[in-house]
Structure 1
Amino acid sequence: MTVLEGANPGLMFLLELGVLAGAAIWGFTLDANPVVRVVAGIATPAVFIVVWALFAAGGGKNARYPLTGPWRALLEIVWFGGAAVLIGLAFTALAAAVFFAIWAINAALRMLWHQA
């Protein structure tokens, strides 16, 4: 196992944290009254957490209803893509594109190396 191959699951974990951070930042920076910002800043990452816990946690091993194959791929595209949209809204389109590109490279390497 190469260093890069061993680091790829760690990068996946950091990307998962990036999804939650992006969702929270988007919610807390909405152009709305403070109550709406606080609710959105807490509820948005909570929704992402619930979806991930139900269908993908621990590479599917710890998920309540684990998805595999194309369904897992679709979930990841929607989950990380949704976060990229929120990052784009909170920051810039470039930040969103970079985030999604890093995820896409990580996903391709996970497939190549048969990682969860």
Structure 2
Amino acid sequence: MKGVLLALALLLELALIVAAGWWGFTLDVGWPVRLLAGLGAPLLIAVVWGLFCSPRASVPLPASGKLTVQAACFVTGGLLLALAGSPVPGALLVGLWAVDKALLTLAHHPV
């Protein structure tokens, strides 16, 4: 079960990156800005994730700090999807991450 939850976590992280790119490429502005936002937003989220949230994070945080940064990233991804005209997928992204994170926590620390 834990392997499935970890695989889902990875897929959700990839979906987060795609959501940021989707938002940038759907902006109602000129193509240079869309290109910058479509490539820059996912890159920014990936850098933040790599620095603070990855298993080999450059900046180690306590569990609560790591959870806060992860939540901020996913809420941002959900909001970006909503701004791109896809509020339901945005809410699903955040909701699925929250459920997956809770189940992974319970699997790691059974009650």
TM-score between both structures, scaled by the size of structure 1 = 0.88
Letter in 1 for 2:82: G
User: Are 2:80 and 1:86 aligned?
Assistant: yes
Q: How many matched pairs? A: 109
Q: Could you tell me how far apart the structure 1 residues matched to 2:13 and 2:61 are?
A: 17
Once superposed, which parts of structure 1, at least 4 consecutive aligned residues long, lie more than 3 Å away? none
Which residue, out of 39, 43, 53, partners 1:42? 39
User: Are 2:98 and 1:104 aligned?
Assistant: yes
Aligned residues: CA RMSD: 1.3
Q: Could you tell me how far apart the structure 2 residues matched to 1:38 and 1:49 are?
A: 17
Deviation for aligned residue 1:73:
1.4
Deviation for aligned residue 1:87:
1.2
Letter in 1 for 2:4: A
Which residue, out of 19, 27, 31, partners 1:30? 27
Q: Could you tell me how far apart the structure 2 residues matched to 1:8 and 1:79 are?
A: 19
What is the match of residue 54 of structure 1? 51
Deviation for aligned residue 1:39:
0.5
Contact 2:49 2:70 in 1 (8 A): no
What is the match of residue 18 of structure 2? 21
Give per-residue Cα distances to partners, 1:16-36, cap 9 Å, x unaligned. 100100000100110000000
User: Are 2:92 and 1:95 aligned?
Assistant: no
Give per-residue Cα distances to partners, 1:29-65, cap 9 Å, x unaligned. 100000000000011011001101111112xxx1101
Q: Could you tell me how far apart the structure 2 residues matched to 1:55 and 1:37 are?
A: 27
Q: Could you tell me how far apart the structure 2 residues matched to 1:10 and 1:68 are?
A: 23
Same amino acid, percent of matched pairs: 34
What is the match of residue 114 of structure 1? 108
